[in-house]
Amino acid sequence: MNHRCCLTALGVYTPEHILSNNDLCALVDTSDEWITSRTGIRFRRKMADTETTSDMAVAAARQALERASLQVSDITHIIVGTCTPEKLCPSVASLTAGKLGAGHCMAFDFNAACSGYLYGLSICRGLLLAEPQARILLICAEAMSRRMNWSDRSTCVLFGDGAAACVLSADANAPLAVLRDVLCAGDGSLGRLITFGGGTEHVRNVGDPIGEDYFLQMQGREVFKHAVRRMADICQEALSRNGLSIDDVDVLVPHQANMRIIEAVGDRLHIAPEKVFTNVADYGNTSAASVPLALDDALGKGAILPGQRVLCTSFGAGLTWSAALMEF
């Protein structure tokens, strides 16, 4: 059996509309100086009112399929990582499959929040072991703007919308990258640190108002500490179980939540800052889409080159965290 998990191509989509820090100053009591110095974020994308999570997923998927020179009929599974689905049912994956004309392929969503991409790689690696013929579209799509409380300055400045997709198979001839290892972890006892509602927790009746808990709520400082510690630790674990040291890593692509978190993770890992790819300034935190959007951006800018070893890491609600080693 072929044990490879190959990334054939990546595709991305970000909405056209750019929200700058100054735009946010019109909504909440904040400043470009505060946001830039505390987070490194300058811009984020905001989807149009008419756009949906699956619209973004479809756009990213189409680009990935085109770059992989595949038809949608070649795809056996569509798996979407999202914490901001447009409906609880049907899944974004099913809606995406329908819009792409994917026929009878298996389609489902999962929610690992900002760790979605690496959790998704772990799911797909397992699937490819069981079904080596599978050709999987793994998509991460997030409509974070729909769950922002636009009067809460401590959260609404942080997040952005976007989607990224990749095609994964066991047998690609000239893959873009090979997944060497992926580790996923979490601590459900800390779930209260990042939440948003809108599920079946409360009994509701037609016409009931939505409460504040529908929107994202986060204990930023606590999350910050966990994010730094967990991402650094799981990166170390991924390296050591593969007999590697940080010097063997050419590029670190961390979750793009906050520049200060990224720098602190880099410091803990003792990796040179020039080896750490960031684009949080342009997109903010796009949750599950963050790591694959950064990978695509890094490839486009020549920051990741063929033959290089890339370490990715992510952290998010749940709490969830993960690390993956890839060879491009």
Decide if residue 220 touches ligand UT7 (CB under 6 A): yes
* 154 near ligand UT7, judged by CB under 6 A: yes
Judged by CB under 6 A, which stretch of 1-9, 83-91, 136-144, 152-160 contacts ligand UT7? 152-160
Q: Does 21 bind ligand UT7 (CB under 6 A)?
A: no
Least distance to ligand UT7 from the beta carbon of 223, Å? 4
d(CA 33, CA 163): 28
CA torsion, ordered 149, 150, 151, 156, to nearest 10 deg:
80
H or E element: which one contains 174? none
223 binds ligand UT7, rule: CB under 6 A: yes
We find the least distance from the C-beta atom of residue 206 to ligand UT7, in angstroms, to be 33
User: What's the CA gap between 2 and 156, in Å, rounded?
Assistant: 45
The residue within the footprint of ligand UT7, chosen from 26, 221, 243, 302 (CB under 6 A), is 221
Instruction: State the nearest-atom distance from the C-beta of 113 to ligand UT7, in Å.
Output: 7
Helix 220-241, helix 259-269: angle, nearest 10: 40
CA distance 289 to 147: 16
Is 17 among the residues known to form the active site? no
285 is catalytic: yes
Q: Which are the contacts of 174, defined by CB distance < 8 A and separation ≥ 6?
A: none
Instruction: Please give the Cα distance from 53 to 163 (Å, whole number).
Output: 8
Q: What is the 3-state secondary structure (H, E, C) of 218-274?
A: ECHHHHHHHHHHHHHHHHHHHHHHCCCCHHHCCEEEECCCCHHHHHHHHHHHCCCHH
Of 205-213, 218-226, 229-237, 266-274: span binding ligand UT7 (CB under 6 A) = 218-226
> x/- binding map, residues 46-75, to ligand UT7, per CB under 6 A?
------------------------------
Q: Is 270 a catalytic residue?
A: no
String of contacts with ligand UT7 for each residue 99-138, x by CB under 6 A: ---------------x------------------------
> Alpha-carbon torsion 236, 240, 242, 246, what sign?
positive
Residues that bind ligand UT7 (CB under 6 A): 30, 34-35, 38-39, 114, 153-154, 157, 194, 220-221, 223-224, 227, 257-258, 261, 285, 315-316
Q: What residues are labeled active site?
A: 114, 255, 285
